Amino acid sequence: MKKVLIANRGEIALRIIRAARELGIKTVVAHSTADEKSLPVLLADEAICIGPPPSGQSYLNIPNLLSAAIVTGADAIHPGYGFLAENATFAEMCREHGITFIGPTPENMRALGDKATARKVAREAGVPTVPGTDELESIEEAKRAALEIGYPVILKASAGGGGRGMRVVHTEEELERAIQQAQEEARAAFGNPAVYLEKYIEEPKHIEIQVLGDGENVVHLWERDCSIQRRHQKLLEEAPSVLPYETRRAIAEAAARLARHVGYVSAGTLEFLVDKEGNFYFIEMNTRIQVEHPITELITGIDLVQAQFRIAQGEKLWLRQEDIEVRGHAIEVRINAEDPEKGFRPSIGKVETLLFPGGPGIRVDSHLYAGYQIPPHYDSLIAKIIAWAPTREEAIRRMERALAETVIEGPGLKTTIPFHQKVLQNAFFRRGAVYTNFVARRMEM
């Protein structure tokens, strides 16, 4: 591998440049016209414009991206996250054109691509999923299933999403009426009254396991706790979680088993819900590098993006499970150009004054520079600040110190820093009492 085309933007494009450069691989950043003055474009060895600002015509424009790789002589493409990262067709087309796709195989993506298929594969590999039914045919069937699964259960619209058509049911008495209501809501919202039933997990932790595979061998790099979310958007992540060692190991081993079962190649993440008793349920797999990968890098010392490159070059996995050792605790905060006081409304603008934190245990991944105009076309992530320390308590205090010395200012520019400062000060957070509805319940946001 001599030259990689980076089919992405922002901090992850910069992250990929850094990994490539340390491996002696040249970089070409493919960018939209809106990102012409972005830091990855300025720092890469080469840059090529692949379309106008809307990502449908640029970062998702497969013909232009492949053509850009061909005309610049790139022999590999790194998709980053989002955009085309989990697009099996794109991975396949790269292969057809003799370009190495830095990520899993198209077959891996298809085996894990949609939730239903992934659940099936998980069951084959003996990994628990959230117990549930198919579309309900009758009240009797629902009652039987609910009894088997155990209350509380949740009704969900087959065609649905976003909370509509959902109903939590605690006892059999409530069930019939709840089904009727859920069906009515589902019909109104989606034009389809079909509902199904699932075990309702109260206050679950969102735990994800990082894996690396070479198609044959798979190792896990332990877990990340991503429970601090707002409307399913992760905001703050930490590694390791506060779960007991036995639970952590059981989940991590299940994840590695599943990845091994599909012959997984490259870096990937398996997401689980974990209930208060330590029962865990596989939800889905992300077949890409993730935003929050740095916390795993900090506790294991392993560079995940470099690992993606090495695996894509055909290197057999150089790590055995016993080589992977967790040291200390890491926390990442996602700094978004959003106003947490106004419902996290995007708040774009020009960065005029910029001071990132430094000193011991602090890592900054950001594409900002003083004078950078944040374009309105893409997501609002502008920086990731990551703190490492020997213990969770020290990592929290270090992150507080780092956020206190951070300055990201410009006319009208707001960031999520004040939100993170509140999370870090929250007594429930400090004692590790986090779960997916933490922000809604403890932060009232």
Partner 1 sequence: MTPKELKQILQALVEHGVNELTLETPDYKLTVRRGGEVQVVAMPQVVAPPPSPPVPVAPAPRPEVPAAPAPVPAPEPVQASPKEECAGCVEVKAPIVGTFYRAPAPDAPPYVKEGDRVEKGQVLCIIEAMKLMNEIESEVAGIVKKILVQNGEPVEYGQPLFLIQPV
Q: Which residues bind partner 1 (CB under 8 A)?
A: 33, 37, 39, 42-43, 46-52, 58, 63-68, 70-72, 97, 339-341, 352-355, 369-372, 407, 409, 411, 414, 417-418
Under the binding rule (CB under 8 A), the answer on residue 163 touching its own copies is no
Partnered with residue 32 across adjacent β-strands are 51
Under the binding rule (CB under 8 A), the answer on residue 425 touching its own copies is no
Catalytic position from the list 224, 288, 363, 392: 288
| Alpha-carbon gap, residue 324 to 390, rounded angstroms | 17
How do beta strands 345-346 and 353-355 pair?
unpaired
| Alpha-carbon gap, residue 138 to 291, rounded angstroms | 43
CB atoms closer than 10 angstroms to residue 30? 30
Encoding tokens for residue 244? 């007991």
CB nearer partner 1, residue 51 or residue 294: 51
Least Cβ distance, residue 59 to partner 1 (angstroms): 12
Under the binding rule (CB under 8 A), the answer on residue 18 touching its own copies is yes
288 carries an active-site annotation: yes
Q: How many positions of this chain bind its own copies (CB under 8 A)?
A: 39
Least Cβ distance, residue 433 to its own copies (angstroms): 22
Q: Name the binder of 364 from partner 1, its own copies, none, CB < 5-8 A by kind.
A: its own copies
Q: Name the binder of 408 from partner 1, its own copies, none, CB < 5-8 A by kind.
A: none
Render the burial of 284-303: b for 16+ CB within 10 Å, e for the rest.
Answer: bbbbbbbbbbbbbbbbbebb
CB nearer its own copies, residue 340 or residue 410: 410
Under the binding rule (CB under 8 A), the answer on residue 392 touching its own copies is no
For residue 87, CA distances in Å to 48, 79, 375 come to 22, 10, 25
Partnered with residue 101 across adjacent β-strands are 77
- Give the largest CA-CA distance in the chain: 67
Least Cβ distance, residue 210 to its own copies (angstroms): 14
Least Cβ distance, residue 363 to its own copies (angstroms): 7
| Alpha-carbon gap, residue 443 to 445, rounded angstroms | 5
Under the binding rule (CB under 8 A), the answer on residue 10 touching its own copies is no
Least Cβ distance, residue 297 to partner 1 (angstroms): 25
Annotated catalytic sites, by residue? Answer: 288
